[in-house]
Amino acid sequence: MSETNRSFVLRAVKDVVLEDRTVPTLKDPWDVRVHVAQTGICGSDVHYWQRGRIGDFILNSPIVLGHESSGTVVEVGSAVKSLNVGDRVAIEPGVPCRHCDYCRSGSYNLCPDTVFAATPPHDGTLSKYYITQADYCYPVPAHMNLEEAALVEPVAVAVQITKVGKVKPNQTVVVFGCGPIGLLCQAVCKAYSAKKVIGVDISQPRADFAKTFGADDVFVPPSRPEGTDDSAWNEAVARMMKEKFKLGEGPDVVLEATGAQACIQTGIHLTKKGGTYVQAGMGRENVIFPITTACIRDLHIRGSIRYTAGCYPTAVDLIASGKIDVKRLITNRFKFEQAEEAFDLVRQGNESVIKVIIEGVP
């Protein structure tokens, strides 16, 4: 029998299947074919599975899921000089057009024509083989294993968030969320010599883990008293944090990695005058936002999406140097045939689950 390309396919909302597809062929001289070794599950993958859309990206036809992957190069195009068959690589899952003003300025995360893995209508990386462009594959050193290489992707997301926030040495930073991205933001800030990094989460176990990973201190907000207005309570929580951690006027930078309205409101009230607030978490599409506070404090408010020029090489270096130990984030491992079980575990949102990895097809 000829070889097939075993793939984990999302056919429709809540409808996934393992499918034997045709092995993909190179279509461009700069293409490479990667034998995928490890894939992490991201919340966006689960979101497409459960809801079929994120913003303007809507599932209208089947796609392969997965975009946090590593593997081994098994075929290279005729123009490729940077990679050889046998190279172990981290895969950057989005290839932009390279020609628009966004791409030419280095902000290729904003390119409207990006082909991004597992974003409809494009197939993702949860297959035996994945075709991409050579310059979006990053060789990893021999001492990095392919699980670590798969987690370069979320580290690159955290690198971009801190880049947008202009995190500098000797600053105080508060990170809302102690899930994978929040934890990695905390670790990147410490790697950049931030003076104090505080992690915030409603889960005590996750907060406790954060204190051993990248945060200098953590905060678990108390429950809102019955009958208290939500917005007033979130402002009060910001005051509590300033007092508890002796933050004075507030931290220099707030990075929001949950998307929860309570965290967004608290974060705005917490940020010092003239400070920077970065929204990276995505929850409800519309929330009540304390715009007057943001205006009178002259806050720098930014969004963050994916990664820009330099983020992936920086992420590889942070892991390879040992400054960020991503292996500690992996709580669960699954074989490829158990992919749906792995996705369901992430969907459940158990606070003991941080990062789930799916092993590739042999």
Q: What is the pLDDT along the chain (362 residues), one digit of tens a residue?
A: 579 999 999 999 999 999 999 999 999 999 999 999 999 999 999 999 999 998 889 999 999 999 999 999 999 999 999 999 999 999 999 999 999 999 999 999 999 999 999 999 999 999 999 999 999 999 999 999 999 999 999 999 999 999 999 999 999 999 999 999 999 999 999 999 999 999 999 999 999 999 999 999 999 999 999 999 999 999 999 999 999 999 999 999 999 999 999 999 999 999 999 999 999 999 988 999 999 999 999 999 999 999 999 999 999 999 999 999 999 999 999 999 999 999 999 999 999 999 999 999 99
Which superfamily does 156-303 belong to? NAD(P)-binding Rossmann-like Domain (3.40.50.720)
Distance CA 110, CA 146 (A): 28
Q: For the CA atoms of 11, 45, 258, 54, what is the dihedral angle to 10 degrees?
A: -50
R_g (Cα) of the chain, nearest Å: 21
Parallel, antiparallel or unpaired: strands 31-40 and 68-76: antiparallel
pLDDT of residue 1: 54
Distance CA 289, CA 287 (A): 6
pLDDT of residue 294: 98
Domains 4-150+325-359 and 156-303 share a fold: no
The torsion region of residue 46 among left (phi > 0), alpha (psi -120 to 50) and beta comes to alpha
As given in the structure block, the two tokens for residue 279 are 């929204």
pLDDT of residue 56: 85
Domain 4-150+325-359, CATH among 3.40.50.300, 3.90.1150.10, 3.90.76.10, 3.90.180.10: 3.90.180.10
Domain ranges in the chain?
4-150+325-359, 156-303
Closest C-alpha to 311, from 157, 165, 169: 157
As given in the structure block, the two tokens for residue 27 are 């279509």
Distance CA 289, CA 166 (A): 23
Whats the size of the chain, residue-wise?
362
Distance CA 214, CA 193 (A): 11
